[in-house]
Amino acid sequence: MEEYAPFYIDYLYCFNTLRNFFDCHEYGEHLWLDTGRPEFLKGLIQVAVSLYHLENGNLRGSRIMWAKASGYLEPYKPVHMGIHIGTIYEDMNRLHQLLPDADRVAAEDVQTWNLPDIYIQIVDDSLQGILEHWTLSPLEDE
């Protein structure tokens, strides 16, 4: 059984349960800094930032972040740290193929497009069990 850092679980909880990509990025960044800035975590953070940009109508920013994230995540396919990277990779590519060729749109417009929701597929049963009863760690103000 793999042991997971609390900020990693916070990241996954914000992503899959709360659907709060801004906070997801914040928890991911704390984890990234605490663990020596691994590229895998940088990729996960950029997935959240990509989705945050998309929610706000910044399609160009979303595309740029996904392009960067995909490069960092590809070496870790199909599974790494209890999650299915291959699924994230495929789902994000599919999502971005559905977007119109524009740099920016109104955030309200994005909501009307009925885009597929992106979730991180948890493949480690112990991690899934932890997430089912998780409470977010407090983030210290900087």
Domain enclosing residue 115, as ranges: 6-132
Full-model pTM = 0.95
Residue 140 inside a domain? The answer is: no
pLDDT confidence bin for 132, thresholds 50/70/90: very high
pLDDT per residue as tens digits for the range 40-94 = 999 999 999 999 999 999 999 999 999 999 999 999 999 999 999 999 999 999 9
Q: Tell me if 142 is assigned to some domain.
A: no
* Residues 13-47 pLDDT 10s: 999 999 999 999 999 999 999 999 999 999 999 99
User: What is the CB-side half-sphere exposure of residue 89 using CA atoms within 13 A?
Assistant: 18
Q: Tell me the C-alpha to C-alpha distance, in Å, between residue 5 and each of 11, 30, 32, 87, 137.
A: 10, 11, 11, 22, 11
CB atoms within 10 A of CB 51: 24
Does residue 138 sit within a domain? Answer: no
The CATH number that applies at residue 63 is 1.10.3450.10
**Structural domain includes residue 74:** yes
Asked if residue 141 belongs to a domain, the reply is no
User: Which residues fall within 8 angstroms of residue 97, CB to CB, at 6 or more apart?
Assistant: none
Query: First vs last Cα of the chain: how many Å apart?
Result: 33
Cβ–Cβ contacts within 10 Å for residue 142, how many?
A: 4
Phi first, then psi, for residue 31 (nearest 5°) are -60, -45
Q: Tell me, what DSSP letter sits at residue 2?
A: -
Give pLDDT, residue 141.
58
Is 137 inside a domain boundary? no
- Residue 1: inside a domain, yes or no? no
Dist. CA 89–CA 66, nearest whole Å: 9
- d(C-alpha 104, C-alpha 60), whole Å: 7
CA–CA gap between residue 134 and residue 116 (Å, rounded): 25
Domain count within the chain: 1
